[in-house]
Amino acid sequence: MLSYLLFLATAEEGKKASAVTKLLSDFGIDLPLLLAQILCFSIVAILLWRFAFKPVLSTMEDRQRQIESGLRYAEETKALLAQAQQESAAIIKQAQLEGARFVEETRKTAKEFLDQQQKDATVRANELIAKALQAIELEHGKMLDQARLEVARLVVLTTQHVLAKELSDAERARYNEAATREITVI
Amino acid sequence: MQVSKQSRQFARQLFRLSLADGQISAERVNSVLIYLNQHPPRQPLAILKHYHRLVATQLAKNHASVEHAGPIADSILQTIERALTQKYQRPVTATAQPNPDLIAGLRITVGDDVYESSIPSHLAALASSV
């Protein structure tokens, strides 16, 4: 291939060889050498491209993809985290509201229970007081009855003693006549 | 002592034999006692006790015990006898028994009936009314 190229260069560029050759010689460019260099460069470029740049680029592309996927994953995770945080905040808020409501209800129930207990205790105390007053009233009545009986007994006893001593026979005789009239009427 | 039914019936028969015009006759009671002495029955003591109880009850019906405190005139006893005879439709004799506990007034006992008009009874009625 290389010889074929050289042959073509020397055969078909005969006409323009003089101007171009002069130009090339002025600039110190050796065409075969240039072509060889171009060929070598091409070969090296091809080899580098195939065995160096391509793997490196693919590796870089892979890494780039990984980085991008990592960044995407991080973004998604961040979004999920934010969403989870929002949801947890919402749940916590809801739980706080529920807890506050439950505490309020419990406090209210406890207050109602306490009020009811106080009312019941007051009612029971009033009932006890009423019963005690009734019992005291009954005892007072009993005591008065007993006192009345005792006073009556003492009055009768005293009257009997006094009459037994003070009544004269004439008065007794008159009483006996009155008793006779009373009994015979019956 | 357990008095048999026959003994009680016999004592009752003897009691009925002791009555004359519805009143206990001393002669008939004497005759009954003589008969029992001559013909002692079974359970003589029980029969005699029952007979005695029946006779005492009958005698108490015809006898008024007049308990009194202070002097009591015979006219009062006669008045009581007349009133009780009229009430019970049988002759009733009254006997006076002094009882100072009555203070004043009378208590008449005829059999199971008691009539009282005395100071203690009036005071007791007054006390119970209080």
What Cα–Cα distance (Å) separates residue B56 from each residue in A15, A164, B15, B107, B119? 202, 34, 10, 20, 30
In this complex, the residue of A163, A173, A178 whose CB is nearest that of residue B103 is: A163
In a domain, A100, yes or no: yes
CB B90 within 8 A of CB A146: no
pLDDT band, residue A2 (cuts 50/70/90): low
CA distance B69 to B100: 5
Query: What chain A residue is nearest to B103 in terms of C-alpha separation?
Result: A164
User: Tell me: the pLDDT tens digits for A133-147?
Assistant: 999 999 999 999 999
User: Tell me: the pLDDT tens digits for B22-80?
Assistant: 888 889 999 999 998 998 888 889 899 999 999 998 888 888 899 998 888 888 899 99
Q: Helix count (H) and strand count (E) of chain B? A: 5, 6
Quote the pLDDT of residue A124: 97
Domain count along chain A: 1
CA distance B1 to B97: 34
Q: In terms of residue numbers, what domain contains A91?
A: 13-185
> Domain locations in chain B?
5-60, 62-129
Quote the pLDDT of residue A120: 97
Which structure tokens are listed for A66? 């990984």
A/B interface, count of CB pairs below 8 Å: 78
CA distance A110 to A115: 8
B124 contacts A173? CB cut-off 8 A:
no
In a domain, A1, yes or no: no
In a domain, A8, yes or no: no
CA distance B101 to B68: 9
In this complex, the residue of B83, B104, B116 whose CB is nearest that of residue A172 is: B104
In a domain, A2, yes or no: no
Return residues 86-115 of B near A (CB < 8 Å). 100, 103-106, 108, 115
In whole angstroms, what separates CA A157 from the centre of its chain? 89
pTM of the model: 0.51
User: Tell me: the pLDDT tens digits for A98-138?
Assistant: 999 999 999 999 999 999 999 999 999 999 999 999 999 99
Q: Which fold has domain B62-129?
A: Glutaredoxin (3.40.30)
For residue B130, pLDDT over 80 is answered with: no
Span A80-92, average pLDDT: 94
